[in-house]
Amino acid sequence: MFQKDKLTRKAKKEGYEARSAYKLIEINQKFKIIKPNSRVLDIGCWPGSWLQVSSKIAKEVVGVDIKQTKINLPNVKTHVLDINSDEVFKLGTFDSIISDVAPNTSGKIEIDQYKSYELSSRAFEIAKRLLKPNGNFLVKIFQGEESNILLNQMKKRFRTVKVTKPKASKKTSKEVYFVGLGFNPSSKPSKHSFDSSSVEQED
Ligand SMILES: C[S@@+](CC[C@H](N)C(=O)[O-])C[C@H]1O[C@@H](n2cnc3c(N)ncnc32)[C@H](O)[C@@H]1O
């Protein structure tokens, strides 16, 4: 509780729309998912703290969410869009795709985990279509029975795959983040990309 209050206050003081900003800052410092001069897609971008963080690093940031954000930054463009719509495939190609997409929680843990798995898997489908070769992917998932399915699929398409839980994420939350570095666009993984995959589980 103290941590949440502290980060929420910090976010307000520093002008971020949400405390989630510190999750992306921490993950990006560690894995360098977003690079300077790059084009980034932010999936599930409302209220916009990840847009704010990405816009300081990347050249251009595109955000999609079913809700309209109030973010007004020169290098950020947002679209009100359900990611299940094929309109999402018209957004162009990206160097990095980051997804914090999450369902409205019902309080029933198995249902929330499954909905999170469906949304995160859709984010991965989008990444497979829109990521440039060697691009990077970050996706949140509520850890549950199905999350290893997504993790194993990612291992076939990225040079390196990691699992991380930033300090800014509440310990009681089931959320973890999968990081895919070095996208391989071919449907069959090369021996090299498969052999060099690694998964690091963190607390
Ligand atoms: C945890 S919030 C994202 C917070 C954001 N990263 C930030 O830092 O401000 C998750 C978002 O996923 C969005 N979302 C859920 N289902 C979606 C869908 N089918 N299409 C697009 N966005 C969706 C929700 O509207 C919500 O804004």
Check: CB of residue 104 under 8 Å from CB of residue 128.
no
Q: What is the pLDDT of residue 196?
A: 35
pTM, entire model: 0.92
Tokens of 109: 């843990």
Spatial CA neighbour of 58 closest among 83, 76, 79: 76
Spatial CA neighbour of 154 closest among 88, 84, 102, 97: 97
Domain spans of the chain? 2-195
Q: What is the pLDDT of residue 190?
A: 44
Q: Terminal CA-to-CA distance of the chain, rounded, Å?
A: 19
Ligand 1 neighbour 149 (Cβ under 6 A): no
Ligand 1 neighbour 102 (Cβ under 6 A): yes
| 3-class secondary structure, 136 | strand
Pocket test for ligand 1, best of 27, 65, 88, 142 (most atoms within 8 A of CB): 65
- Which of the following CATH numbers is that of domain 2-195: 3.40.50.150, 3.40.225.10, 3.20.20.10, 3.40.50.720? 3.40.50.150
Ligand 1 neighbour 17 (Cβ under 6 A): yes
Judge if the upstream peptide bond of residue 74 is cis by omega within 30 degrees of 0: no
How many angstroms separate the alpha carbon of residue 82 from the centre of ligand 1? Answer: 10
Ligand 1 neighbour 46 (Cβ under 6 A): yes
Q: What's the order of all strands across the beta sheet hosting 94-99?
A: 76-80, 60-65, 39-43, 94-99, 131-142, 175-183, 158-164
Nearest CA residue ID for atom 27, ligand 1: 46
Local confidence band at 199 (pLDDT 50, 70, 90 cut-offs): very low
79-130 per-position pLDDT tens digit: 999 999 999 999 999 999 999 999 999 989 999 999 999 999 999 999 999 9
Distances (CA, A) of 134 to 48, 121, 162: 26, 20, 16
- Asked whether residue 66 carries a pLDDT value surpassing 60, the answer given is yes
24-37 per-position pLDDT tens digit: 999 999 999 999 99
How many angstroms separate the alpha carbon of residue 45 from the centre of ligand 1? Answer: 5
How many angstroms separate the alpha carbon of residue 190 from the centre of ligand 1? Answer: 33
Ligand 1 neighbour 197 (Cβ under 6 A): no
